[in-house]
Amino acid sequence: MPRIRAASVAEHRTMQRGALLDAARSLLSEGGTEALTFPALAERTGLARSSVYEYFRSRAAVVEELCAVDFPVWAAEVEAAMDRADTPEAKIEAYVRQQLALVGDRRHRAVVAISAGELDAGAREKIRAAHGGLIAMVVEALMGLGHEQPRLAAMLLQGVVDAAVRRIELGAAEEPHRITEAAVSMALRGVRG
């Protein structure tokens, strides 16, 4: 009998942690990093504020966990889009388009909010590492185009994507599809030299 009880306690904790992460995603999507507070997490999940601290020691810990869970999903979707492309140019286009398509997806809005937020050094390092994984994906395509400095080109390419993401998130005057087309055009012209 104690095994069953221990398993159900573990399952309950896993469910509560998942609920907290879902609440954090919603808060980040709705109000950015400023909206991610322990009182707000407690209110969204129905937990006592002190209970939130049982799962996460700080707001940065919540962000780090979201990075660990959500960035790999984002990266896998970008990688899958690139894998479907045949040429280096098509892979680069897929890299840009897929990231910008994910901006509007509620599941990934938290990733965007996290990236834009002012966070502590540990959380920023996790985000840098996650972005490094994205950049590594496009380096090979840039090598296929004969770039002498494919890593530098990849970082600059990601800069174009990040600027387009911010423009879309700000609700700029341009429609998101126009921002995407402009970013793809700039990226492809830029990587061709």
- DSSP three-state, residue 25: helix
* Cα distances (angstroms) measured from residue 186 to each of 2, 22, 161, 183: 61, 35, 10, 5
Burial classification of residue 4, based on how many CB atoms lie within 10 Å of its CB (0-12 exposed, 13-18 middle, 19 or more buried): exposed
Q: Which residue in this structure is represented by tokens 């990849």?
A: 154
Lowest mean pLDDT among 31-35, 67-71, 113-117: 113-117
**What is the distance between the terminal CA atoms of the chain, rounded to a whole angstrom?**
68
pLDDT in tens, 152-193: 999 999 999 989 988 887 776 888 899 999 999 999 988 775
The model scores a pTM over 0.85? no
Domains of the chain: 1-56 (1.10.10.60), 58-191 (1.10.357.10)
Distance CA 74, CA 79 (A): 9
Most confident of 5-14, 146-155, 170-179: 146-155
pLDDT in tens, 20-48: 999 998 888 787 778 889 999 999 999 99
